Amino acid sequence: MKSIIYILIISYCSLLKAQDGIEVELIKSIPLNADTFVGVNMFDELFYVKNDVLSKQTKLENHSYQNKLYGSLSSVDVLNSLETTLFYQAFNTVIQLDRRLGEISKIDFNQSNSFNTITHVSVASNKRLWVFNADTQQLQVYNPKQDIVEASSQSISEVIVDIYSNYNFCWVLTKTRLLQYNIYGNQLNNYILKEYDAFVYYKDYFILKTDNHLYSLSLGDEIPKIITLPEILIKDFSVTNETLYIYDGKELHFFKINSNKE
């Protein structure tokens, strides 16, 4: 009987721990002159955009890329450390770059047989893309090589605020919900979240932004918990390699993440 009680106490304490949020510790801050901080990849290479020029800083060298034909960058995806994916929404076009930011390929959705208007693009597995098809209001898995849609979600009627992906899952943020989909287009989870304007996924947490505050939400929880930070402007943020990066418009701040989920 004592053994059963002990196991129950341990399980309960573990549950309480699992519901704790994220704590962060400031490591350093560096100056950064950018319009947009994109993020840091798995090789600790830093990406940012200034005057529609994408720059990449490594420990040994710097690279840059600009495409004057397509103008303003809508998004940059650095999930794949060997390839960088750029989306120019105004021209319905994706450009993929190598490690030195040289062009590898171009995907012109205007020439595609699968759809006409794309509003969001993110990297999926096996050189495919997650795309949000504005014509059908669906999140889709697109194979550029074959110009086919391999999977589609049910129609999403709400305005899409942001999307974030890893290779096998994609999360779609609206004004009221955060939806998770797998590579087959199936909806796996539906989190009720209101008025968040950006987010990233980190291990078993979401980090969400609203009103210049960041919150963490565990996969097993329903209520986001505020992350205690210094009083800095949160213009852009990302997470890589146990580090939370926050750009305030002048400096990039590095925070070590200490998750209470053991």
Q: Of 150, 185, 148, which Cα lies nearest the Cα of 169?
A: 185
- 180 CB-near residues (< 8 Å, 6+ apart): 169, 170, 171, 187, 188, 189, 190, 191
Task: Of 194, 187, 157, give the one whose Cα is nearest residue 169.
Answer: 187
pLDDT in tens, 223-232: 999 999 999 9
Q: What is the pLDDT of residues 164-199, one digit of tens each?
A: 998 889 999 999 999 999 999 999 999 999 889 999
- Using the CB atoms, write b or e for 225-258: b if 16+ within 10 Å: bebebeebebebbbbbeebbbbbbeeebbbbebe
Q: Of 71, 177, 178, 80, which is closest to residue 129 (Cα–Cα)?
A: 80
Query: Helices marked H in 88-192 — which ranges?
Result: none
Helix (H, G, I), strand (E, B) or coil at 2: helix
What pLDDT sits at residue 15? 35
Tokens of 179: 């939806």
In this prediction the pTM is 0.87
Percent over 70 (pLDDT), the chain: 90
pLDDT at 215: 96
For 79-132, how does the pLDDT look when each residue is reduced to its tens digit (9 = 90+)? Answer: 999 999 999 999 999 999 999 999 999 999 998 887 779 999 999 999 999 999
What is residue 159's DSSP assignment?
Answer: P
Q: Which two tokens stand for residue 120?
A: 């969001």
- The residue among 1, 17, 22, 2 whose CA lies nearest residue 225 is 22
Distances in Å between the Cα of 167 and the Cα atoms of 24, 115, 144, 195, 210 are 26, 22, 15, 26, 26
Work out the pLDDT band at 203, boundaries 50, 70, 90: confident
Question: What percent of the chain clears pLDDT 90, i.e. is strictly above it?
Answer: 79
Domain boundaries along the sequence of the chain: 1-31+195-262
